[in-house]
Amino acid sequence: MKTHTPLAQLEQNDNFARRHIGPCSEETKAMLTKVGADSLEDLIQQTVPSSILLAEDVVAGHQLSEVAALQELKAIAAKNTVNKSYIGMGYYGTNVPNVILRNVFENPGWYTAYTPYQPEIAQGRLEALLNFQTMTCDLTGMDLASASLLDEATAAAEAMAMCKRVSKNKKCDNFFIADSVHPQVADVMIERAEHFGFTILRGPAETAPEHDLFGAVLQYPGTNGDVTDISDIIAAIQAKKGVVAVGSDLLALTRIKSPAELGADMAFGSSQRFGVPMGYGGPHAAFFASCDKHKRSMPGRIIGVSKDTHGKPALRMAMQTREQHIRREKANSNICTAQVLLANMAGFYATYHGPQGLKDIAKRVNRFTDLLAAGVVKGGLSLVNNTWFDTITVKLDNELLDNKEKVVTRALAAGINFRLDTDHQVGISIDETITQADLATLFDVLLGDNHGISIDALEAELAATGSTSIPASVERESEFLTHPVFNSHHSETEMMRYIKSLENKDLALNHSMISLGSCTMKLNAVAEMIPVTWPEFSNMHPFCPADQAVGYKVMIDLLEDWLVTITGYDSICMQPNSGAQGEYAGLLAIHKYHESRGDSHRNICLIPSSAHGTNPASAQMAGLKVVVTKCDENGNVDVADLREKAEELKDNLSCIMITYPSTHGVYEETIKEICQIIHDNGGQVYMDGANMNAQVGLTSPGSMGSDVSHLNLHKTFAIPHGGGGPGMGPIGVKAHLAPFVAGHSVADTGKESRNNGAVSAAQFGSASILPITWMYINMLGTDGLKASTQTAILNANYLAQNLDPLFPVLYKGRNDRVAHECIIDLRPLKEATGISESDVAKRLMDYGFHAPTMSFPVAGTLMIEPTESESKAELDRFIEAMTGIRAEIAKVESGEWTAEQSPLHNAPHTLADIVDANWDRAYDRETAVYPAPYVKKDKFWPKVNRIDDVYGDRNLFCSCPPIEAYND
């Protein structure tokens, strides 16, 4: 008789954890044997200090199958009401070109890539980012643009900070924010200004020159829609040594003079409406541009053109490649993760439409606005603004004609949202999705029955009189997007192939393991990604009425509950849209807490020397003074030194920022003691949560005594890195800090802290990627989450065990175990042979791998984090590669090759290298490009040779180079 498998067990086979976790049970067994543990539990007992192991399971998620989890989320999403949004304020409807939607947004070749720290295998996204920068430069008229900031509001705050850096009015701390700036943008600036010690002045833009200022932010077009010539105001501010940043709109800039033409020093804004869905607030890329003389003061990453060893143009991150790690509290900003995927999409949108296509869209938007304004006035209403590009503000204060309430009731009945945040007015922003039918509905809603307005008649009148909505003095005459890249890919076939050709240049997770330590490059499962593009999530305006966003609320509330259990905190704040923003937000909560207790003088932040560079950069932004504490020779925090400093500085101690497990990849035994020391001296503990992948289900920051942490949802919680963003960095806090986390002035966060200042433009940051984490937790559930952490630790120890004989593992914890990552030391070999960590990183490309994290946290090392998603087979392939590389180094040791002759020094190798008839290397072509047997089966070809960093920084060039540059 056949054996009967119980139904429960058959159902269990549908378990998502089996798909998420790389090693199958046989592989796990073999690996446990190799590392010398009886079981996963045994390994954990050996590795994690018992003092911090949780006694009970962390209950989170429901362990649903992919199908069931998608069904549950679909039902939640259906609770959202997707109205047509005319709210504007920096968020507009857009038609995402489907060729970009499918080939970029929904394509793991693009969304699973990492920040291009290894540029030779990232030329595709570097080119896409260069297009974004070129587009930004062209439309703003500025010399230099960055490769995206987090959102419009944080970009404005960065502009303010940069004004201070470059202003010649050194002694002045006054900064002016014009009334024409979007309210949520002003809020983030005001919050930042407080901690920088700036005084904010407000008023109509034209009053700015009355003040003594180091800088000012103006908005053009203004938040109520008006388009005025601000060049005189800019000049007057500059005449008094003030620096001027102008917030603007990319689509408007195709029709109106650029900020540079008006004399501005900087320009910023959101690129969302260039083909990126509103997503209830994000993610989208902010653009930022400035003039050449301020280039060293720019925030965020800039892509530059350099050359490779054959003198061919090749792209890389310029200057600030690792700015925070190098400059720490002196860094220009704390921006690490940015919005690369969305910047790429916006750049592709410009590539696909081209200058004429964009002008046509802008003309249509402006025409609809002209018609809307004409009809509204004809219908008896009046406007606040008499110039506009796409936005009108309608007065509804005349009881005889109508009133706001009636209009809003009709609008909601018609499925329409207007901007409602000013009394007796509604704001209406037109976008590219608006049709004539929409316009007709708008008239019905605004003017009521029997208004008698005919679009055809309005159109005929407008044709006769001509439009005056854009004043002649600011009409744009200068060209933009003249580079061939913006004029060659207008058919879908061409566009699809262009995107594919760039994708082919990049190594992403869909090719091989990316073992970047501290970055947690795990699986981003398709089932997690699918909900992101559901219209119920993606087409929501962040400032829509709360009763339309019920689905979002349910989803976010559930996610918060799960994250509360996982972290051991009491409350979650979803606003920060990157890890570094979470650090800033958490430090502000600490500061406000101290303030509430009459301790506003507490301003010292202790940071161990091993900390990630964003920690000191964020502390500086929060107005704190950084005091560095030592690490001992085992890489642990030197507790004696810490205690001494905490006691010495106890009167002014604000907090410690500490990473756990340490950036050195070990579980420090003393963590609870460290938390106690800080608390005993009046400070708070900020635990950097980037390494949560070593904690989930086993221990938690809250249980160890920490007060606040950010969570990199784009590391541990499965949001993909997008080639350098998006991310989400919500913070978890203990109850005493909950009243002090970020609030929002335009939208209600539903929390007791709702009236506090904001750290992001939108109340829930990049809300539309939260479904990824929701799905991740709900599919893995209690057991799967724990098994993931256990396996991440197993995988790291398996690599450590195998690599240690080749390259010594630098730091180990109890029982010689590492946590979820390990550092291998290349310094002794470099000393002996001249082969550097960089040579090894580049040679790994020939073997088909992305290098681990290089020279962080220790120079001359590689930090390897395999994550639970990699199978034993993949780990073995990586070991095979590292074994091959070690053998190559041995040949340099033995004198068979000099370092310069070795394939390591000449790596990576391109196809062009081996078809070169003048091959004259000390090794053969096969060694160059097929260094291991597995490579022959699936060769990844780096498209350029090693890139010259120094040349690129000396000859900074940050927009698309002329096509001829690529010809021989």
Ligand X SMILES: *Cc1c(COP(=O)(O)O)cnc(C)c1O
DSSP string, 166-228: H-S-TT--EEEEETTS-HHHHHHHHHHHHHHTPEEEEE-GGGGGGS--SEEEEESS-TTS---
What mask of x and - would describe binding to ligand X in positions 610 to 649, judged by CB under 6 A?
Answer: --x-x-----------------------------------
What mask of x and - would describe binding to ligand X in positions 305 to 344, judged by CB under 6 A?
Answer: -------------------------------xx-------
Within 8 A by CB and 6+ apart from 499, the residues are: 99, 100, 103, 104, 348
Packing angle, helices 872-893 and 837-846, rounded to 10: 120
Tell me how far, at minimum, the Cβ of 505 lies from ligand X, in Å.
Answer: 23
Question: Smaller CB distance to ligand X: residue 518 or 836?
Answer: 518
Question: Smaller CB distance to ligand X: residue 264 or 303?
Answer: 303
User: Are 516 and 865 in contact, with CB atoms under 8 Å apart?
Assistant: yes
Tell me how far, at minimum, the Cβ of 760 lies from ligand X, in Å.
Answer: 13
The three-class DSSP label of residue 588 is: helix
Question: Smaller CB distance to ligand X: residue 358 or 617?
Answer: 617
Beta strands in 308-418 (DSSP E): 313-317, 382-383, 391-395, 416-417
Candidate ranges 264-272, 458-466, 576-584, 939-947; the one touching ligand X (CB under 6 A): 576-584
Question: Smaller CB distance to ligand X: residue 283 or 697?
Answer: 283
Checking DSSP bridges between strand 313-317 and strand 303-307, what pairing results, if any?
Answer: antiparallel
Tell me how far, at minimum, the Cβ of 223 lies from ligand X, in Å.
Answer: 29
Of 269, 264, 332, nearest to 297 by C-alpha is: 332
Tell me how far, at minimum, the Cβ of 113 lies from ligand X, in Å.
Answer: 15
Tokens of 425: 């007015």
Tell me how far, at minimum, the Cβ of 908 lies from ligand X, in Å.
Answer: 26
For residue 628, give the H/E element and its range: strand 625-629
Within 8 A by CB and 6+ apart from 81, the residues are: 415, 547, 548, 550
Residue 792 in contact with ligand X, rule: CB under 6 A: no
The three-class DSSP label of residue 267 is: strand
Candidate ranges 187-195, 428-436, 465-473, 575-583; the one touching ligand X (CB under 6 A): 575-583
Question: Smaller CB distance to ligand X: residue 258 or 610?
Answer: 610
The three-class DSSP label of residue 514 is: strand
Checking DSSP bridges between strand 243-249 and strand 684-688, what pairing results, if any?
Answer: unpaired
Question: Smaller CB distance to ligand X: residue 726 or 884?
Answer: 726
Q: Give CA–CA dist 358/360, Å, rounded.
A: 5
Please work out, in degrees rounded to the nearest 5, the angle formed at the alpha carbon of residue 688 by the alpha carbons of 683 and 694: 130
Q: What are the backbone angles phi and psi of residue 854, rounded to the nearest 5°?
A: -105, 130
Q: Which of residues 720-739 bind ligand X (CB under 6 A)?
A: 727, 729
Question: Smaller CB distance to ligand X: residue 690 or 737?
Answer: 690
Tell me how far, at minimum, the Cβ of 688 lies from ligand X, in Å.
Answer: 5
Question: Smaller CB distance to ligand X: residue 336 or 426?
Answer: 336
Q: Which of residues 923-952 bind ligand X (CB under 6 A)?
A: none
Question: Smaller CB distance to ligand X: residue 575 or 578?
Answer: 578
Among 163, 532, 580, 780, binds ligand X (CB under 6 A): 580
Tell me how far, at minimum, the Cβ of 755 lies from ligand X, in Å.
Answer: 26
Residue 706 in contact with ligand X, rule: CB under 6 A: no
The secondary structure of residue 961, as a DSSP letter, is: P
Among 503, 688, 865, 913, binds ligand X (CB under 6 A): 688
For residue 803, give the H/E element and its range: helix 770-803
Question: Smaller CB distance to ligand X: residue 394 or 692?
Answer: 692
Question: Smaller CB distance to ligand X: residue 330 or 406?
Answer: 330
Size of the site for ligand X (CB under 6 A): 15
Tell me how far, at minimum, the Cβ of 715 lies from ligand X, in Å.
Answer: 6
Among 659, 699, 753, 836, binds ligand X (CB under 6 A): 659
The three-class DSSP label of residue 685 is: strand
For residue 85, give the H/E element and its range: strand 84-85
Question: Smaller CB distance to ligand X: residue 579 or 813?
Answer: 579
Candidate ranges 26-34, 166-174, 578-586, 669-677; the one touching ligand X (CB under 6 A): 578-586
Tell me how far, at minimum, the Cβ of 611 lies from ligand X, in Å.
Answer: 7
Residue 578 in contact with ligand X, rule: CB under 6 A: yes
Tell me how far, at minimum, the Cβ of 27 lies from ligand X, in Å.
Answer: 27
Tell me how far, at minimum, the Cβ of 662 lies from ligand X, in Å.
Answer: 10
Question: Smaller CB distance to ligand X: residue 61 or 689?
Answer: 689
Residue 690 in contact with ligand X, rule: CB under 6 A: yes
Among 277, 347, 542, 579, binds ligand X (CB under 6 A): 579
Q: Give CA–CA dist 178/723, Å, rounded.
A: 35
What mask of x and - would describe binding to ligand X in positions 491 to 520, judged by CB under 6 A?
Answer: ---------------------------x--
Paired residues of 218 in beta bridges: 246
The rounded Cα 224 to chain-centroid distance in angstroms is 29
What mask of x and - would describe binding to ligand X in positions 76 to 95, judged by CB under 6 A?
Answer: --------------------
The Cβ-side half-sphere exposure at 434, using a 13 Å CA radius, reads: 28
Question: Smaller CB distance to ligand X: residue 123 or 618?
Answer: 618
Tell me how far, at minimum, the Cβ of 776 lies from ligand X, in Å.
Answer: 17
Tell me how far, at minimum, the Cβ of 339 lies from ligand X, in Å.
Answer: 11
* Residue closest to ligand X (Cβ): 579
Tell me how far, at minimum, the Cβ of 143 lies from ligand X, in Å.
Answer: 27
Tell me how far, at minimum, the Cβ of 615 lies from ligand X, in Å.
Answer: 7
User: Are 52 and 699 in contact, with CB atoms under 8 Å apart?
Assistant: yes
Sheet-wide strand order for 853-854: 822-825, 861-864, 853-854
Instruction: Considering only CA atoms, give the Rg of the chain.
Output: 28
Tell me how far, at minimum, the Cβ of 689 lies from ligand X, in Å.
Answer: 8
Residue ranges in 653-761 assigned as alpha helix (H)? 671-680, 701-704
Question: Smaller CB distance to ligand X: residue 779 or 863?
Answer: 863
Paired residues of 256 in beta bridges: 475
What mask of x and - would describe binding to ligand X in positions 111 to 140, judged by CB under 6 A?
Answer: ------------------------------
Question: Smaller CB distance to ligand X: residue 339 or 745?
Answer: 339
Candidate ranges 81-89, 179-187, 573-581, 619-627; the one touching ligand X (CB under 6 A): 573-581
Of 947, 845, 915, 843, nearest to 311 by C-alpha is: 947
Tell me how far, at minimum, the Cβ of 255 lies from ligand X, in Å.
Answer: 35
Tokens of 323: 């700015």
Within 8 A by CB and 6+ apart from 808, the residues are: 824, 825, 828
Among 224, 575, 610, 712, binds ligand X (CB under 6 A): 712
Q: Which of residues 385-404 bind ligand X (CB under 6 A)?
A: none
Checking DSSP bridges between strand 653-659 and strand 684-688, what pairing results, if any?
Answer: parallel
Sheet-wide strand order for 425-429: 382-383, 391-395, 425-429
Question: Smaller CB distance to ligand X: residue 337 or 768?
Answer: 337
Q: Give CA–CA dist 526/531, Å, rounded.
A: 9
Paired residues of 459 in beta bridges: none
Q: Give CA–CA dist 71/75, Å, rounded.
A: 6
Tell me how far, at minimum, the Cβ of 577 lies from ligand X, in Å.
Answer: 9
Q: Give CA–CA dist 89/85, Å, rounded.
A: 11
Q: Give CA–CA dist 159/162, Å, rounded.
A: 5
- Return residues touching ligand X (CB under 6 A): 336-337, 518, 578-580, 612, 614, 659, 663, 688, 690, 712, 727, 729
